[in-house]
Chains A and B, each alone.
Chain A
Amino acid sequence: MSENRRALEQQFGRILGEHGAAISRLAYSYEVVASVREELVQEIALAIWQALAHFRGECSERTFVYRIAHNRGLTHVWRRRAPHQPLHDLEESDEPADPRPHPEAQAAQTNQRARLMSAIQSLPMTHRQMIVMMLEGLSHAEMGEVLGITENNVAVRLTRARKALKDAIGVRP
């Protein structure tokens, strides 16, 4: 194995370690069905691996990861065109394990999370992308770099997306 390949594998492993959970969460906004979502996460990781050799540091590593993840997510939606399934109908295995001891609090938390996820899923694609990046804590500049728009535009879109999310959560049971 060449030195170059080994270095790439190390970088890839570090990227997955740092951003793996974020990629999985991002995939939630593009795909509801658990088995297909896992496939999407793997596709995103594979795309990152394939693009890594061509990455010359034109943007930050986080921007690089989010660009690829969103681009793959979009391709997935365009090609699949699956009918929307509300997330509160998800089977139990789709929900991550919650170690807290109180079942009522756990149920309430699960319900709120399901409402948030369902509301995000119901948003138009551009709003969804803004909300996901906001929840992941990206700055306006980073969001602009990922989407290819100005920071001013990011601020305008974010305000609209956030309002749309509040409305969507409000109307959902």
Chain B
Amino acid sequence: MIEDHELDIWREQWGSVAESSPEFQRKIQQRIKLQERRFLLGNVLSAVALMGILVFAVVIRHQASWLGTGWATGICVLVFVSAGYRLWVLRGTWRPEIQSTRAFVELWHRRVLARLQLLRISIYVAVGWIITCAALTAANWTTLKPDVKVHPTDWFEVLLASVLMQPVIWFWAAWLRRRKVAELNEVKKTLHEMDGVPD
């Protein structure tokens, strides 16, 4: 009886914590419209970016050197392999919302692990891409050399930009990895808490 009374008091206190605001539904409707527009815009931009990359690849393919062919092939392989690998790694990790909390936590654990795996592979791919570009430039040096002599400043700027981009990319990757590792630790903690009571 005492415990029920205690529960009634808690419920009364809890019930007065938050009331439904009349503005709530209007804000949600606005948020939904915004989200739907963002989703549509995101899909359109992704499609345009993909098409742009492929058109660029086709255009440089027609340059009369190994450089154009190499880059075109490299870009196509990079785009399709990355997209395919991403779909493969993230398979089965979509639409987790309706599931029970237990199933959701397990699914999110797999999802974070998949994201970390993607991040690791992305770093290898980035390094591989730099090596490929360097190798292509070296292989085509005889073709490129006259242009470098005519426009040394332009080539220096390209080289400088490429070098300066590296620390930015590495910093971003390290920051993202730290965040994902922290998220993984939190998910593991929740899983551990859930396993605390045997079924």
Interface SS of B by simple majority: helix
Which of A50, A145, A152 is close to B100, meaning CB atoms less than 8 Å apart?
Answer: A145
Contact, CB under 8 Å: B101 / A25:
no
Which of A64, A112, A124 is close to B98, meaning CB atoms less than 8 Å apart?
Answer: A64
Known A-B contacts A42-B27, A147-B102; A109 and B14 likewise in contact (beta carbons under 8 Å): no
> Which residues on the A side are within 8 Å of B187 (C-beta)?
78
> Which residues on the A side are within 8 Å of B186 (C-beta)?
77-78, 81
Total interface residues on A, CB under 8 Å, equals: 60
> Which residues on the B side are within 8 Å of A145 (C-beta)?
100
- At the interface, yes or no: B157 with Cβ under 8 Å from chain A? no
- At the interface, yes or no: A40 with Cβ under 8 Å from chain B? no
> What distance in Å separates the Cβ of B119 from its nearest Cβ neighbour in chain A?
16
Contact, CB under 8 Å: B103 / A148:
yes
> Which residues on the B side are within 8 Å of A72 (C-beta)?
97
- At the interface, yes or no: B190 with Cβ under 8 Å from chain A? yes
Known A-B contacts A24-B18, A153-B199; A68 and B13 likewise in contact (beta carbons under 8 Å): no
Selected interface stretch from B28-36, B80-88, B147-155, B167-175: B28-36
- At the interface, yes or no: A51 with Cβ under 8 Å from chain B? yes
Contact, CB under 8 Å: B183 / A78:
yes
Contact, CB under 8 Å: B193 / A126:
yes
Contact, CB under 8 Å: B101 / A148:
yes
The complex places the Cα of A135 from the Cα of B102 at a distance, in Å, of 20
- At the interface, yes or no: A74 with Cβ under 8 Å from chain B? yes
Interface residues of A (CB under 8 A from B): 13, 16-17, 20-21, 24-25, 27-28, 41-42, 45-47, 49-51, 54-55, 58, 64, 67-68, 70-72, 74-75, 77-79, 81, 96, 98, 109, 112-113, 116-117, 124-126, 129, 134-137, 145-150, 152-153, 156-157, 160, 165-166
